[in-house]
């Protein structure tokens, strides 16, 4: 007999800032699960949390805000348990603290932690190298992973960074893209190639590589128009590399609801081009979203990106601005190749990156656990 699996999506996650949890919720619902959200957004993204880490005197403010959200979550969680006990609790991304609360509130319920990246690893990528802080964050990572029954990662390489105990309960679930991103490729046009990048300008994203490539493009004969969306760690360096080239537009911020349509209005979406260890083991949001938006995707040729994307992306060596420039010039000059690249990206997204398809490994596991005898 078929039984509906009831899942509570729990935590201070923010779908607008980190859409991954939205993909998980949407995918489970599309797969026939009953998903109820118990959510009180903290209102602090990754960059804001790293800033607090770099300014320890702000930690009490974080503590007060977290306590307020947890009070709201605890009340809602107790009500939801009384109404209908869940079969599993899904703790959304950046839930390193939230999973500890979930473990206390749902002692006898399987806890799923979406652990895309560790707190220590994230801080390191944002330039935080203090041994004391790194040690504290590593302990937080261990506690969070220890509190979970199922750990979600997005690539096999990310699973390889976990301890033996944590890796044994890890499931690889690609990041995917929400349905609002899906738009079939547009017909060919005769104007300049339109390229878009969006991100937080971190070393992982390799934005200095992008900046160097844009400078070379602007000095070349092939017209390419580029929209750069976002600000962050390497922003000033990238602006300095590019200068005041007239075919490059800079947008500090775009509302999450407006971003899919803006990206879809371009021909090419840029992925990541960094060379640090983290960059070599992830497949970022923007790659999944750009492919779903009907853009040709140009990103670094790394093992996980090659595995996940296959022929659905134009791959260039990490850290190679010249190769990135050459790839964009080739797409600008050969519109048939551009159309093939966009179609391949979109087909890959429809087959593998839509919510239901992305969450399939998790859905299969939760159903199997639901059917196990008590």
Task: Write down how long the chain is.
Answer: 374
Characterize 168-182 residue by residue with b for buried, 16 or more Cβ atoms within 10 angstroms of its Cβ, and e for exposed. Answer: eebbebbbbbbebbb
Handedness of CA 69, 75, 81, 83 (dihedral sign): negative
Q: Where does 97-236 show beta strands of DSSP type E?
A: 111-114, 150-153, 170-172, 193-198, 224-229
Whether 30 and 182 have beta carbons less than 8 Å apart is answered as no
Of 263, 146, 275, nearest to 207 by C-alpha is 275
Q: Which pLDDT score, from 0 to 100, does residue 184 have?
A: 95
Two domains, one topology: 6-176+355-371 and 179-353? yes
Of 217, 214, 269, nearest to 237 by C-alpha is 214
pLDDT in tens, 42-76: 876 666 665 655 666 666 777 788 899 999 999 99
pLDDT in tens, 104-148: 999 999 999 999 887 767 667 666 667 776 787 889 889 999 999
**Prediction pTM value:** 0.91
Q: Which pLDDT score, from 0 to 100, does residue 360 have?
A: 97
Instruction: Look up residue 354 and give its two tokens.
Output: 């839509």
Whether 44 and 69 have beta carbons less than 8 Å apart is answered as no
The three-state DSSP-derived secondary structure of 67-120 is: HHHHHHHHHHHHHHHHHCCCCEEEECCCCCCHHHHHHHHCCCCCEEEECCCCHH
Tell me the CB-side half-sphere exposure of residue 158, using CA atoms within 13 A. 25
Per-residue confidence in pLDDT tens, the chain, 374 aa: 456 799 999 999 999 888 999 999 999 999 999 999 999 998 766 666 656 556 666 667 777 888 999 999 999 999 999 999 999 999 999 899 999 999 999 999 999 999 988 776 766 766 666 777 678 788 988 999 999 999 999 999 999 999 999 999 999 999 999 999 999 999 989 899 999 999 999 999 999 999 999 999 988 899 999 999 999 989 999 999 999 888 999 999 999 999 999 999 999 999 999 999 999 999 999 999 999 999 999 999 999 999 999 999 999 999 999 999 999 999 999 999 999 999 999 999 999 999 999 999 999 999 998 776 54
Extents of the domains making up the chain: 6-176+355-371, 179-353
Q: 179-353 falls under which CATH superfamily?
A: Glycogen Phosphorylase B; (3.40.50.2000)
H or E element in which residue 328 lies: helix 321-333
* Count of other CB atoms within 10 angstroms of residue 257: 9
* Measured CA angle at 11 (ends 9, 13), to 5 deg: 95
Q: Which pLDDT score, from 0 to 100, does residue 1 have?
A: 41
Q: Which pLDDT score, from 0 to 100, does residue 48 have?
A: 60
Handedness of CA 327, 332, 336, 339 (dihedral sign): positive
Distances (CA, A) of 308 to 23, 144, 168, 287, 340: 17, 27, 22, 10, 18
Q: Which pLDDT score, from 0 to 100, does residue 45 have?
A: 61
Cα 96 from Cα 91, distance rounded (Å): 9
For the domain 6-176+355-371, what is the CATH code? 3.40.50.2000
């Amino acid at each position: 007999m078929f039984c509906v699996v009831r899942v509570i999506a729990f935590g201070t996650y923010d779908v607008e800032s980190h859409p991954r949890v939205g993909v998980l919720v949407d995918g489970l619902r599309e797969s026939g699960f009953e998903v109820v959200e118990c959510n009180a957004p903290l209102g602090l993204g990754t960059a804001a949390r790293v800033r607090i880490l770099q300014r320890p005197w702000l930690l009490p403010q974080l503590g007060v805000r977290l306590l307020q959200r947890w009070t709201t979550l605890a009340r809602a969680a107790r009500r939801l348990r009384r109404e209908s006990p869940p079969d599993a609790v899904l703790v959304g991304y950046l839930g390193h603290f939230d999973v500890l609360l979930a473990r206390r509130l749902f002692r006898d319920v399987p806890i799923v932690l979406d652990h895309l990246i560790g707190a220590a690893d994230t801080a390191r990528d944002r330039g935080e190298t203090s041994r004391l802080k790194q040690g504290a964050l590593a302990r937080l990572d261990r506690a969070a992973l220890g509190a979970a029954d199922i750990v979600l990662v997005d690539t096999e390489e990310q699973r390889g960074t976990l301890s033996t105990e944590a890796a044994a309960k890890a499931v690889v679930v690609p990041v995917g893209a929400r349905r609002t991103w899906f738009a079939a490729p547009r017909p060919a046009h005769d104007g300049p190639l339109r390229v878009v990048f969006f991100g937080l300008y971190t070393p992982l994203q390799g934005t200095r590589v992008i900046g160097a490539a844009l400078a070379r493009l602007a000095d070349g004969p092939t017209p390419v128009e580029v929209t750069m969306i976002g600000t962050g760690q390497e922003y000033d360096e990238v602006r300095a590399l590019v200068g005041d080239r007239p075919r490059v537009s800079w947008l500090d911020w775009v509302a999450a609801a407006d971003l899919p349509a803006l990206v879809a209005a371009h021909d090419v979406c840029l992925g990541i081009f960094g060379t640090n260890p983290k960059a070599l083991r992830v497949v970022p949001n923007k790659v999944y979203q750009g492919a779903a938006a009907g853009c040709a995707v140009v990103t670094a040729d790394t093992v996980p990106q090659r595995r996940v994307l296959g022929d659905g992306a134009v791959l260039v060596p990490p850290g190679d601005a010249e190769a990135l420039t050459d790839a964009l010039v080739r797409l600008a000059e050969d519109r048939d190749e551009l159309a093939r690249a966009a179609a391949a990206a979109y087909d890959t997204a429809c087959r593998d990156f839509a919510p239901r398809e992305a969450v399939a490994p998790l859905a299969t596991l939760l159903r199997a656990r639901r059917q196990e005898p008590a």
